[in-house]
Every structure is written in C-alpha cells, then in structure tokens.
Amino acid sequence: FVRVDFAGFIKAVDTLGGVDVIVECELHDTFPDKTSPTGKSDLDVYPGIATLSGKQALWYARSRWSTTDFDRARRQQKVLRALFTKARSGNLLQSAFGLYNDFRENIETSIGVSDLPFFIDIATRLDDLAIKNRVVTYPVIKAFTRPDGAQVLLPTQDTIPYIAESLSPPAGNRAQSRPL
C-alpha cells in the first residue's frame, strides 16, 4: 500500500510539471490557501484538457461544492490516471529510487526500496487502455440509512456484473511474463 499526504501529492504533481486532465464539466470552487494574501484561492476549470498544478490537481480531485461524491470519485480517478501517464511518458519511473527518498516524509508505504524494480517493471509494461476503473452509481446502488443513522450505499442486483468484471483475472499473467 501507499498512502500519500496532501503535501506529497502536491509535490508529486509539481515534480511532474503539472498534469493534463480531461475535464468533462465546468467546475468552480474556492479553497483555503495559506500562500494567498486572502487566505483562499479559486479553482475554475472548463471542459477540455486542463493542465493543473499540484494545488489545482488536489483541489480538482477533492472539490465537493457543486457536484456529487460520484463526480468527485471520477475526478480522483482521472487525476491519478493522468499522474501515472505523465510519470511514464517522462520516464520519471526510472528516477524512482531518488524520488522514493525525496517523498519519504510525505508517504507511508509497505513497499521497500528493494521492491521498486519489480513495481517499476510492471508499471512500464502496463497498457493504459487495459487498466479498468469504474465509479458505480445509481441505479446500480441504492441509498440506505442504517439503524444507527449512518447513510450508506448498498449494492443492487445490477452490481453483480461490475463485481464479476473486477474479480476476473487479466487475459494473461503479466507478472509471470516479465523477463528474468
């Protein structure tokens, strides 16, 4: 696992020189910003490709002002995919050892330095189009209030194909096909 704090996320995006995200819907929000004279900054993005700085990417992924949690989940997936694509295209994965140490204060992980070559090898061979991601929304799930008052989402029968797809192995075992 890897858990990155906000400062680490901003640093990662800025290290890449920003990320290009395909924006589907106009989004406007205001965020606390210690570096701004007013203590806040606006994020305004429009449909098309937006190049986002670290702060902007974080804000875009976390915005809750005018959209749903499902929209936020989709935006988060888009930003993560954009980060991965940018890291691969810039050969940043080859600098993973140095970056590992640079980001050590901003991450918590079970991956050791000795594990990096294996993960870098897999990452460099992944096909972006073969990576599946889904945001499951209504009517595949339904709202439910638990007896303790917590509002949760429950799967419906329509969820089964998504679960089956996510649990299906890939067409080939990529880890075993790597050169020795």
Average the pLDDT over 12-33 and give the result: 91
**Whole-structure pTM value:** 0.75
CA distance 39 to 35: 7
Average pLDDT over residues 28-34: 91
Give the pLDDT confidence score for residue 175 in this predicted structure. Answer: 53
Q: What is the pLDDT of residue 145?
A: 94
71-95 tens-digit pLDDT: 898 999 999 989 888 888 776 666 7
SS3 174: coil
For residue 42, pLDDT over 60 is answered with: yes
What are the residues facing 155 on neighbouring strands? 141
Whole-angstrom Cα distance, residue 136 to residue 100? 33
Residue 150 CB partners (closer than 8 Å, separation 6+): none
Q: What is the structure's pLDDT at 174?
A: 53
pLDDT tens figures, 110-153: 888 888 888 878 877 776 656 777 777 778 888 899 999 999 98
